[in-house]
Amino acid sequence: MTIPTQTLPLIKEPERLESRLAEIPPEPGVYFMRDKNDRIMYIGKSRKLRSRVRSYFRDAYNKSERIATMVKLVTEIEFIVTDTEAEALALEANLIKQHQPYFNVLLKDDKKYPYVCITWSEDYPRIFITRKRQLGKEKDKFYGPYTDSGLLREILRLCKRIFPLRQRPQPLFKDRPCLNYDLGRCPGVCQQLISSEEYRKIVQKIAMVFQGRTQELIDILTQQMQAAAEGMNFESAARIRDQIAGLKSLNANQKVSLPDDTVSRDAIALAADDKHACIQLFQIRAGQLVGRLAFLADAYADPGAILQRALEEHYQTADSVEIPTEILVQHDLPDGGILADVLTQRKGRKVTILAPMRQTKAELIEMVERNAQYELQRMQKLGDRNHQAMQDLATILDLPDLPHRIEGYDISHIQGSNAVASQVVFIDGLPAKQHYRHYKIKNPTVTAGHSDDFASLAEVIQRRFRKYSVSESATDPLPRLGNPDWPDLIMIDGGKGQLSSVVAVLQEMNVLEDLRVVSLAKQREEIFLPGESKPLTTDAEQPGVQLLRRLRDEAHRFAVSFHRQQRTDKLKRSRLDEIPGLGHHRQKQLLGHFRSVDYIRQATPTQLAEVAGIGPHLAQEIYDYFHPS
């Protein structure tokens, strides 16, 4: 049933809120929180829907900052009733995967720990390490996050040495494989010398390593080696023998070994303060520690509830073979039986969840908890340093509160050509790269040979904040205070001139009253305030100024890297721009097919016509352009 979209948050309409809460039944199910634009902000589940949803709107409810912000934006509540709690858990997982609600992130992607990604959505899957878990394509798989990035890179390097895999992200040659193919390290993916089906079988073996199934893979390869030897195929048997030896070397580095090697188990524990919970999950397979994963969560609930949610999110995208038969937890889970039933159904074998109290299993949990405590201490130490820097900055600028979100802006160009801008964000003193943005300067007066940093900064700030301005926004302006996207402080890279141009455009948009803006000049690390002719009296080495310097340097780095990318793209396409009828989209199609302008120049009209969107007539024109009579 579609419910008409409301404009005011429920918390500001007590009568409508009470009426809506009374309509929610005390049964198991899933609930949705929607904003004024009818977007789903949050999806949750509960054994008693009415009690759970009502708890969000109680003043005494212990809400995290993230949830408190969400409650202020809720304009409508919907629900789906299920027969059992297990059905609610499964439905919630599917709906979160489908809608990706903004406030449904419990395990923070804070870029500290790397993941391994396998792009199963591609015909020839790639394997790479990333610090950003993106669920853009459903078939792609992420493993992690792993605490030891050095060991992870070594494992991936060994896998590429043991198994023939694509070694380069882009082909080196257009019409032939590179030296890796001759050495047997690559099966010739660039020239499709191996079928997609055969290559995916190789990648499936690598996936077993990251699933903790190394011993299972060794057993499979051992059978294949024996079969090859019995069939007198000694060359294949020797190759498989070397692969087995390489895989065994992976297990040689393990530091933990348990006497019970028949049970596959995970052990999870946490250490928490009043704000954060550091969670560690040890994966034990065949008696050995094969993986140590780390997560970070808001400490908004009791430890058992945090562990429950962490396990739900961790196993949500896991294959059935990755689910262990035994899960050891530090604290009893509030819905442990339901989670165990769901995992049992997915795995096809009984999965047990228990909180051990004695002997070897309890010692394992103590070890996991000790590692979580060390990680929490490290985070607290880093947080104390950043907190001290934010306190010092608040004192320097006379801010009423600590600057939780700080944004930095910079311009990059070469004498006005390829002018771009960067927006970087620090949250609690740390880079939040998921919020970084870059801009291409559209001002027609900024051209090669004529630069204007003042106008460029004014344009970028106007584009950044127009959705909050009554005069600029085409629809209702977004709320400012309480919005996690609204900055507590803006820093401009430059002096009084750059700052004045930014202040002027913010005044025109009527948003300056809710913003604090400063600039940081490079030469003497001087801080300028709007309307002040002289800089503030500061020491370049004091913590608050150092925080601004780190922000300024990051904004400069991000702007320069984007500017270089734009210059490179322009060099690639400069000659293609001169061909009539060859627009930007077709240029991308050509470069995606041939990889470089040089290969396009060498192609025949027939080869050019094979590219999607390039007909015989245009192919002949491209060929004639590069081969004038």
309-356 per-position pLDDT tens digit:
888 888 877 788 888 899 999 999 988 888 898 899 888 889 999 998
**289's tokens:** 């520690």
Angle between the N-to-C axes of helices 303-316 and 85-99, in degrees from 0 to 180, rounded to the nearest 10:
60
- Please indicate whether residue 496 or residue 169 has the higher confidence score (pLDDT): 496
* pLDDT, averaged across the chain: 82
Task: List the Cα angle 139/210/270 in 5-degree steps.
Answer: 100
List C-alpha distances in Å: 25 to 2, 35, 42.
18, 22, 19
Closest C-alpha among 336, 338, 341, 332 to residue 302: 332
Per-residue pLDDT, 109:
47
493 in Cβ contact with 556 (< 8 Å): yes
List C-alpha distances in Å: 21 to 24, 76, 145.
5, 10, 38
3-state secondary structure of 130: strand
Whether 572 shows a pLDDT value over 70: the answer reads no
Estimate to the nearest angstrom the gap between the alpha carbon of 422 and the chain centroid: 19
Per-residue pLDDT, 490:
93
Whether 253 shows a pLDDT value over 60: the answer reads no
Q: Domains of the chain, with CATH numbers?
A: 10-99 (3.40.1440.10), 265-378 (3.30.420), 405-570 (3.30.420.340), 574-626 (1.10.150.20)
Whether 251 shows a pLDDT value over 60: the answer reads no
356-396 per-position pLDDT tens digit:
888 788 888 998 998 889 888 887 777 778 888 889 999 99
Phi, psi for 495 (deg, rounded to 5): -110, -150
Per-residue pLDDT, 1:
39
352 in Cβ contact with 291 (< 8 Å): no
Nearest-angstrom CA–CA distance, 223 and 212 = 19
Q: Once rounded to an integer, what is the mean pLDDT over residues 522-538? A: 85
Query: What one-character-per-residue DSSP string does 183-216 give?
Result: TTS---GGGT-S-HHHHHHHHHHHHHHHTT-HHH
Nearest-angstrom CA–CA distance, 84 and 564 = 56
Q: Which pLDDT band holds residue 260 (cuts at 50, 70, 90)? A: low
401-435 per-position pLDDT tens digit:
889 899 999 999 887 788 899 999 998 888 888 88
In the chain, what is the straight-line distance between the N-terminal and C-terminal CA atoms, in Å? 68
Whether 576 shows a pLDDT value over 60: the answer reads yes
Question: CA dihedral defined by 186, 189, 190, 192, rounded to 10 degrees?
Answer: 140
- Please indicate whether residue 231 or residue 66 has the higher confidence score (pLDDT): 231
Q: Once rounded to an integer, what is the mean pLDDT over residues 95-107? A: 70
Closest C-alpha among 610, 134, 35, 34 to residue 44: 34
